[in-house]
Amino acid sequence: MHVALRGSSPATTTAAILLMTRARQLGLRVDVVIVGDPDDITPVPGPAVVHAPVLASCGVGRKDGMGGTVVVSGPPAESLLLCVQNHGEDGWFEVDRGQVGCHPATQAYTRLTRDARVDARHLAKELRRMFNGLGMSTEPAILDVLFGAPVPPLTRISLALRAGRALTGKRGQPLTRFLAQQDFDDSEIVSSRMDDAAIMAWLEGHGPTWITDRLSLSVRDTVEEWLQLATKLAKEDDGRDLALVHALGVLSSHLVQLPAQSILLPLDSAMDGVALCVGKGLQAGGDGNASFQLGQVFRFLGGRYVDSADHVYDVDIHDPPDDRIGRWRWFCKAALIGQERADEIWRNLWDESS
Protein backbone atom coordinates (compact mmCIF):
# COMPACT_ATOMS: atom_id res chain seq x y z
CA MET A 1 0.00 0.00 0.00
CA HIS A 2 1.34 3.43 -0.99
CA VAL A 3 0.63 6.77 0.75
CA ALA A 4 1.85 10.22 -0.32
CA LEU A 5 1.62 13.22 2.01
CA ARG A 6 2.00 16.95 1.43
CA GLY A 7 2.07 19.96 3.77
CA SER A 8 4.20 21.63 6.43
CA SER A 9 7.21 19.54 7.43
CA PRO A 10 6.36 18.74 11.10
CA ALA A 11 2.75 17.82 10.34
CA THR A 12 3.51 15.59 7.34
CA THR A 13 6.54 13.96 8.97
CA THR A 14 4.63 13.24 12.20
CA ALA A 15 1.73 11.76 10.21
CA ALA A 16 4.14 9.65 8.15
CA ILE A 17 5.97 8.29 11.21
CA LEU A 18 2.72 7.39 12.96
CA LEU A 19 1.34 5.64 9.87
CA MET A 20 4.51 3.59 9.42
CA THR A 21 4.85 2.61 13.07
CA ARG A 22 1.19 1.61 13.31
CA ALA A 23 1.52 -0.53 10.19
CA ARG A 24 4.61 -2.26 11.56
CA GLN A 25 2.90 -3.00 14.86
CA LEU A 26 0.17 -4.83 12.90
CA GLY A 27 2.61 -6.57 10.56
CA LEU A 28 1.42 -4.56 7.54
CA ARG A 29 3.44 -3.00 4.75
CA VAL A 30 2.75 0.69 4.03
CA ASP A 31 5.08 2.71 1.82
CA VAL A 32 4.92 6.38 2.87
CA VAL A 33 6.47 9.28 0.93
CA ILE A 34 6.43 13.04 1.47
CA VAL A 35 6.11 15.35 -1.51
CA GLY A 36 8.69 18.12 -1.11
CA ASP A 37 12.35 18.99 -0.88
CA PRO A 38 13.98 17.97 2.45
CA ASP A 39 16.42 20.87 2.05
CA ASP A 40 13.50 23.30 2.44
CA ILE A 41 12.48 21.98 5.86
CA THR A 42 12.21 24.79 8.40
CA PRO A 43 14.72 24.37 11.26
CA VAL A 44 13.37 24.42 14.83
CA PRO A 45 16.48 24.94 16.97
CA GLY A 46 16.90 24.32 20.68
CA PRO A 47 17.51 24.49 23.49
CA ALA A 48 13.97 23.76 24.55
CA VAL A 49 12.01 21.61 27.03
CA VAL A 50 8.33 20.82 26.47
CA HIS A 51 5.91 18.07 27.44
CA ALA A 52 4.81 16.85 24.00
CA PRO A 53 3.95 13.12 23.98
CA VAL A 54 3.34 13.12 20.22
CA LEU A 55 6.81 14.45 19.47
CA ALA A 56 8.39 12.16 22.07
CA SER A 57 6.70 9.14 20.50
CA CYS A 58 8.20 10.21 17.15
CA GLY A 59 11.73 10.27 18.61
CA VAL A 60 12.22 14.02 19.08
CA GLY A 61 14.32 14.87 22.14
CA ARG A 62 13.45 11.55 23.76
CA LYS A 63 15.59 10.08 26.52
CA ASP A 64 15.02 7.20 28.91
CA GLY A 65 12.99 8.04 31.98
CA MET A 66 11.53 11.29 30.62
CA GLY A 67 8.13 10.02 29.50
CA GLY A 68 6.48 12.50 27.16
CA THR A 69 8.90 15.35 27.93
CA VAL A 70 11.07 16.50 25.03
CA VAL A 71 14.54 17.99 25.57
CA VAL A 72 16.27 19.45 22.51
CA SER A 73 19.83 20.72 22.81
CA GLY A 74 21.09 24.08 21.59
CA PRO A 75 24.03 26.51 21.66
CA PRO A 76 25.18 27.40 25.21
CA ALA A 77 24.79 31.12 24.48
CA GLU A 78 21.07 30.74 23.70
CA SER A 79 18.44 31.00 26.42
CA LEU A 80 16.47 27.85 27.24
CA LEU A 81 12.83 27.77 26.13
CA LEU A 82 10.40 26.14 28.55
CA CYS A 83 6.72 25.40 28.07
CA VAL A 84 4.28 24.95 30.97
CA GLN A 85 1.33 23.68 28.94
CA ASN A 86 0.78 20.21 27.58
CA HIS A 87 1.62 19.67 23.88
CA GLY A 88 3.42 23.02 23.60
CA GLU A 89 0.64 25.02 21.97
CA ASP A 90 1.09 27.90 24.44
CA GLY A 91 2.76 28.78 27.76
CA TRP A 92 6.31 29.32 26.44
CA PHE A 93 8.92 31.49 28.17
CA GLU A 94 12.70 31.89 28.36
CA VAL A 95 15.19 31.17 31.15
CA ASP A 96 18.86 32.10 31.14
CA ARG A 97 21.52 29.39 30.91
CA GLY A 98 24.20 31.84 32.01
CA GLN A 99 24.65 33.80 35.22
CA VAL A 100 22.53 36.89 34.53
CA GLY A 101 18.87 35.93 34.13
CA CYS A 102 16.13 36.84 31.67
CA HIS A 103 13.57 38.26 34.13
CA PRO A 104 14.25 41.75 35.61
CA ALA A 105 13.94 40.36 39.16
CA THR A 106 16.55 37.69 38.44
CA GLN A 107 18.85 40.30 36.94
CA ALA A 108 18.42 42.41 40.09
CA TYR A 109 19.42 39.44 42.25
CA THR A 110 22.57 38.79 40.22
CA ARG A 111 23.50 42.48 40.47
CA LEU A 112 23.21 42.29 44.24
CA THR A 113 25.53 39.27 44.38
CA ARG A 114 28.24 41.31 42.61
CA ASP A 115 27.60 44.67 44.27
CA ALA A 116 30.54 46.44 45.91
CA ARG A 117 28.34 47.30 48.90
CA VAL A 118 28.44 44.78 51.71
CA ASP A 119 24.78 45.40 52.56
CA ALA A 120 23.74 44.63 48.99
CA ARG A 121 25.62 41.34 48.99
CA HIS A 122 24.05 40.57 52.36
CA LEU A 123 20.57 40.84 50.79
CA ALA A 124 21.55 38.30 48.14
CA LYS A 125 23.15 36.06 50.76
CA GLU A 126 19.97 36.01 52.86
CA LEU A 127 17.92 35.02 49.82
CA ARG A 128 20.36 32.22 49.04
CA ARG A 129 20.11 31.01 52.64
CA MET A 130 16.33 30.97 52.42
CA PHE A 131 16.29 29.08 49.10
CA ASN A 132 18.91 26.62 50.35
CA GLY A 133 16.73 25.94 53.39
CA LEU A 134 13.91 25.04 51.01
CA GLY A 135 16.25 22.72 49.08
CA MET A 136 15.99 24.98 46.03
CA SER A 137 18.76 26.08 43.70
CA THR A 138 19.44 29.79 43.18
CA GLU A 139 20.57 29.29 39.59
CA PRO A 140 19.35 32.23 37.46
CA ALA A 141 17.34 29.77 35.36
CA ILE A 142 15.37 28.62 38.43
CA LEU A 143 14.77 32.22 39.51
CA ASP A 144 13.53 32.98 35.98
CA VAL A 145 11.02 30.15 36.46
CA LEU A 146 10.00 31.54 39.87
CA PHE A 147 9.52 35.09 38.62
CA GLY A 148 8.63 34.65 34.96
CA ALA A 149 6.66 31.47 34.25
CA PRO A 150 3.29 32.42 32.67
CA VAL A 151 1.19 30.73 35.37
CA PRO A 152 -0.47 31.98 38.61
CA PRO A 153 1.93 32.93 41.44
CA LEU A 154 1.30 29.88 43.64
CA THR A 155 1.81 27.58 40.66
CA ARG A 156 5.05 29.43 39.87
CA ILE A 157 6.25 28.75 43.39
CA SER A 158 5.43 25.04 43.05
CA LEU A 159 7.10 24.89 39.63
CA ALA A 160 10.28 26.61 40.81
CA LEU A 161 10.50 24.47 43.95
CA ARG A 162 10.10 21.29 41.87
CA ALA A 163 12.70 22.39 39.32
CA GLY A 164 15.10 23.79 41.94
CA ARG A 165 14.92 20.69 44.12
CA ALA A 166 15.41 18.42 41.11
CA LEU A 167 18.54 20.40 40.29
CA THR A 168 20.02 20.19 43.81
CA GLY A 169 18.71 16.75 44.74
CA LYS A 170 17.56 18.09 48.12
CA ARG A 171 14.10 18.07 49.69
CA GLY A 172 14.30 21.07 52.02
CA GLN A 173 11.73 22.44 54.45
CA PRO A 174 8.04 22.74 53.47
CA LEU A 175 7.44 26.36 52.51
CA THR A 176 4.09 26.68 54.30
CA ARG A 177 5.75 25.69 57.58
CA PHE A 178 6.73 29.35 57.93
CA LEU A 179 3.16 30.67 57.86
CA ALA A 180 1.26 31.68 61.01
CA GLN A 181 -2.16 30.24 61.79
CA GLN A 182 -4.78 32.99 61.60
CA ASP A 183 -7.92 34.12 59.80
CA PHE A 184 -7.66 36.76 57.07
CA ASP A 185 -9.07 37.80 53.71
CA ASP A 186 -7.29 38.20 50.39
CA SER A 187 -8.07 41.85 49.76
CA GLU A 188 -4.48 43.07 49.84
CA ILE A 189 -2.81 41.02 47.10
CA VAL A 190 0.16 42.96 45.70
CA SER A 191 -0.45 44.04 42.12
CA SER A 192 1.86 42.55 39.49
CA ARG A 193 1.83 45.93 37.71
CA MET A 194 3.61 48.58 39.75
CA ASP A 195 6.27 51.06 38.67
CA ASP A 196 9.32 51.85 40.79
CA ALA A 197 7.66 54.84 42.43
CA ALA A 198 4.66 52.75 43.49
CA ILE A 199 6.90 49.98 44.82
CA MET A 200 8.93 52.48 46.83
CA ALA A 201 5.77 54.06 48.23
CA TRP A 202 4.52 50.59 49.16
CA LEU A 203 7.77 49.88 51.05
CA GLU A 204 7.90 53.23 52.85
CA GLY A 205 4.20 53.16 53.65
CA HIS A 206 4.51 49.91 55.60
CA GLY A 207 2.77 48.00 52.84
CA PRO A 208 4.62 44.74 53.58
CA THR A 209 3.51 44.75 57.25
CA TRP A 210 0.37 42.72 56.62
CA ILE A 211 2.51 40.08 54.87
CA THR A 212 5.14 39.84 57.62
CA ASP A 213 2.36 39.68 60.24
CA ARG A 214 1.27 36.41 58.67
CA LEU A 215 4.70 34.79 58.93
CA SER A 216 5.75 32.55 61.79
CA LEU A 217 7.96 34.00 64.52
CA SER A 218 10.91 31.89 63.31
CA VAL A 219 11.31 34.00 60.16
CA ARG A 220 9.35 37.21 60.73
CA ASP A 221 12.19 39.27 62.23
CA THR A 222 14.60 38.19 59.48
CA VAL A 223 12.16 39.16 56.73
CA GLU A 224 11.45 42.56 58.34
CA GLU A 225 15.19 43.29 58.59
CA TRP A 226 15.65 42.25 54.96
CA LEU A 227 12.90 44.64 53.83
CA GLN A 228 14.34 47.52 55.87
CA LEU A 229 17.76 47.00 54.32
CA ALA A 230 16.26 46.70 50.82
CA THR A 231 14.42 49.99 51.34
CA LYS A 232 17.62 51.70 52.51
CA LEU A 233 19.60 50.49 49.50
CA ALA A 234 16.80 51.44 47.09
CA LYS A 235 17.05 55.03 48.32
CA GLU A 236 20.81 54.97 47.69
CA ASP A 237 20.70 53.59 44.14
CA ASP A 238 17.44 55.16 42.89
CA GLY A 239 15.52 51.91 43.07
CA ARG A 240 17.87 49.97 40.81
CA ASP A 241 16.82 46.56 42.12
CA LEU A 242 13.22 47.19 43.15
CA ALA A 243 12.08 44.63 40.56
CA LEU A 244 13.31 41.88 42.90
CA VAL A 245 11.48 43.32 45.92
CA HIS A 246 8.31 43.69 43.87
CA ALA A 247 8.46 40.13 42.49
CA LEU A 248 8.99 38.69 45.97
CA GLY A 249 6.15 40.85 47.30
CA VAL A 250 3.72 39.54 44.68
CA LEU A 251 4.61 35.92 45.42
CA SER A 252 4.53 36.42 49.19
CA SER A 253 1.15 38.16 49.13
CA HIS A 254 -0.35 35.07 47.51
CA LEU A 255 1.59 32.60 49.63
CA VAL A 256 0.48 34.03 52.99
CA GLN A 257 -3.15 33.49 51.99
CA LEU A 258 -2.60 29.76 52.55
CA PRO A 259 -3.35 28.17 55.93
CA ALA A 260 -0.36 27.28 58.08
CA GLN A 261 0.98 23.73 57.55
CA SER A 262 -1.02 23.42 54.32
CA ILE A 263 0.45 22.15 51.04
CA LEU A 264 0.96 23.77 47.68
CA LEU A 265 -1.17 22.35 44.89
CA PRO A 266 0.60 19.58 42.97
CA LEU A 267 1.68 20.26 39.40
CA ASP A 268 -0.04 18.60 36.46
CA SER A 269 1.90 16.01 34.43
CA ALA A 270 3.11 18.51 31.81
CA MET A 271 4.54 21.03 34.28
CA ASP A 272 5.98 18.32 36.50
CA GLY A 273 7.78 16.70 33.57
CA VAL A 274 9.21 20.02 32.42
CA ALA A 275 10.29 20.98 35.95
CA LEU A 276 12.17 17.70 36.38
CA CYS A 277 13.96 18.21 33.06
CA VAL A 278 15.06 21.84 33.49
CA GLY A 279 18.48 20.61 34.59
CA LYS A 280 18.81 18.44 31.47
CA GLY A 281 17.83 21.44 29.34
CA LEU A 282 20.48 23.62 30.98
CA GLN A 283 23.15 21.02 30.22
CA ALA A 284 21.97 20.15 26.69
CA GLY A 285 24.62 21.88 24.60
CA GLY A 286 24.96 21.32 20.87
CA ASP A 287 23.24 22.10 17.61
CA GLY A 288 19.88 20.52 18.28
CA ASN A 289 17.17 20.82 15.64
CA ALA A 290 13.77 19.28 16.32
CA SER A 291 12.83 19.22 12.62
CA PHE A 292 16.04 17.38 11.75
CA GLN A 293 15.41 14.77 14.45
CA LEU A 294 11.90 14.21 13.14
CA GLY A 295 13.26 13.76 9.62
CA GLN A 296 15.89 11.30 10.83
CA VAL A 297 13.25 9.03 12.34
CA PHE A 298 11.18 9.25 9.15
CA ARG A 299 14.12 8.12 7.02
CA PHE A 300 15.12 5.43 9.53
CA LEU A 301 11.66 3.87 9.18
CA GLY A 302 12.05 3.78 5.40
CA GLY A 303 10.28 7.01 4.45
CA ARG A 304 11.30 8.91 1.32
CA TYR A 305 10.96 12.42 -0.13
CA VAL A 306 9.71 12.72 -3.72
CA ASP A 307 9.14 15.57 -6.17
CA SER A 308 5.59 14.56 -7.11
CA ALA A 309 3.01 11.82 -6.57
CA ASP A 310 -0.54 10.86 -7.48
CA HIS A 311 -3.38 10.83 -4.97
CA VAL A 312 -1.67 13.01 -2.39
CA TYR A 313 -3.10 13.53 1.10
CA ASP A 314 -2.85 17.17 2.25
CA VAL A 315 -1.92 17.37 5.92
CA ASP A 316 -1.24 20.98 6.93
CA ILE A 317 -0.19 24.17 5.12
CA HIS A 318 0.45 26.69 7.92
CA ASP A 319 3.63 28.76 7.49
CA PRO A 320 6.13 29.00 10.38
CA PRO A 321 6.76 32.29 12.26
CA ASP A 322 10.25 33.78 12.40
CA ASP A 323 10.72 34.05 16.19
CA ARG A 324 11.96 31.10 18.27
CA ILE A 325 8.95 30.78 20.57
CA GLY A 326 6.51 31.22 17.70
CA ARG A 327 8.30 28.55 15.69
CA TRP A 328 8.23 26.06 18.55
CA ARG A 329 4.54 26.75 19.11
CA TRP A 330 3.91 26.19 15.38
CA PHE A 331 6.01 23.01 15.41
CA CYS A 332 4.15 21.47 18.36
CA LYS A 333 0.73 22.40 16.99
CA ALA A 334 1.63 20.97 13.58
CA ALA A 335 2.63 17.69 15.23
CA LEU A 336 -0.84 17.45 16.81
CA ILE A 337 -2.42 18.14 13.42
CA GLY A 338 -0.23 15.42 11.95
CA GLN A 339 -1.42 12.96 14.59
CA GLU A 340 -5.08 13.73 13.87
CA ARG A 341 -4.51 13.49 10.12
CA ALA A 342 -2.71 10.16 10.49
CA ASP A 343 -5.79 8.74 12.25
CA GLU A 344 -8.05 9.98 9.44
CA ILE A 345 -5.79 8.63 6.70
CA TRP A 346 -5.48 5.27 8.44
CA ARG A 347 -9.25 4.88 8.56
CA ASN A 348 -9.52 5.89 4.88
CA LEU A 349 -6.89 3.37 3.82
CA TRP A 350 -8.70 0.43 5.34
CA ASP A 351 -12.15 1.64 4.32
CA GLU A 352 -10.94 1.76 0.70
CA SER A 353 -9.22 -1.62 0.89
CA SER A 354 -12.18 -3.44 2.47
* pLDDT confidence tier of residue 205, bands split at 50, 70 and 90: confident
Give the pLDDT of residue 221.
94
* pLDDT confidence tier of residue 27, bands split at 50, 70 and 90: confident
Give the domain range for residue 324: 1-44+289-354
Q: Are residues 250 and 126 in the same domain?
A: yes
Q: Are residues 114 and 259 in the same domain?
A: yes
What value does the mean pLDDT of the chain take?
A: 91
Domain tally, the chain = 2
Number of Cβ atoms within 10 Å of the Cβ of 228: 12
Give the pLDDT of residue 287.
87
The answer on pLDDT for 184 being more than 70 is no
- Determine the Cα–Cα distance for residues 143 and 6; give it in Å rounded to an integer: 43
CA quadruple 89, 92, 97, 98: dihedral sign: positive
Q: What is the pLDDT of residues 67-95, one digit of tens each?
A: 899 999 999 889 999 999 999 989 999 99
Residue 240 in any domain: the answer is yes
Say which range, 117-126, 148-157, 278-287, 328-337, has the weakest mean pLDDT: 278-287
Q: Are residues 259 and 306 in the same domain?
A: no
Tell me if 4 sits within 8 A of 35, measured CB to CB: yes
Q: Are residues 178 and 233 in the same domain?
A: yes
User: What is the mean pLDDT of the segment spanning 264-274?
Assistant: 92
The answer on pLDDT for 354 being more than 60 is no
Give the pLDDT of residue 67.
84
Give the pLDDT of residue 295.
94
The answer on pLDDT for 101 being more than 70 is yes
The answer on pLDDT for 118 being more than 60 is yes
Among 234, 267, 300, the domain-final residue is: 267
Number of Cβ atoms within 10 Å of the Cβ of 57: 17
**Structural Rg of the chain based on CA atoms:** 25
Q: Are residues 161 and 301 in the same domain?
A: no
Residue 116 in any domain: the answer is yes
User: What is the mean pLDDT of the segment spanning 261-287?
Assistant: 91
Give the pLDDT of residue 286.
87
Residue 354 in any domain: the answer is yes
User: What is the mean pLDDT of the segment spanning 204-228?
Assistant: 90
Q: Are residues 254 and 299 in the same domain?
A: no
The answer on pLDDT for 185 being more than 80 is no
Say which range, 84-88, 188-192, 248-252, has the weakest mean pLDDT: 188-192
- Determine the Cα–Cα distance for residues 163 and 172; give it in Å rounded to an integer: 13
Residue 179 in any domain: the answer is yes
**CATH code: domain of residue 333:** 3.40.50
Q: Would you call 323 exposed, middle or buried from its count of C-beta atoms within 10 A (0-12, 13-18, 19+)?
A: exposed
Q: Are residues 240 and 302 in the same domain?
A: no
Q: Are residues 17 and 153 in the same domain?
A: no
What DSSP string runs through 269-316?
HHHHHHHHTHHHHHH-BS--BHHHHHHHHHHHTT-EEES--SSEEE--
Tell me if 214 sits within 8 A of 258, measured CB to CB: no
User: What is the mean pLDDT of the segment spanning 195-215?
Assistant: 90
Q: Are residues 175 and 240 in the same domain?
A: yes
Residue 125 in any domain: the answer is yes
Q: What is the pLDDT of residues 30-55, one digit of tens each?
A: 899 999 999 889 999 999 999 999 99
Q: Are residues 262 and 345 in the same domain?
A: no
Residue 57 in any domain: the answer is no
Q: What is the pLDDT of residues 291-348, one digit of tens each?
A: 999 999 999 999 999 998 888 999 987 888 989 999 999 999 999 999 999 999 998 8
Q: Are residues 194 and 139 in the same domain?
A: yes
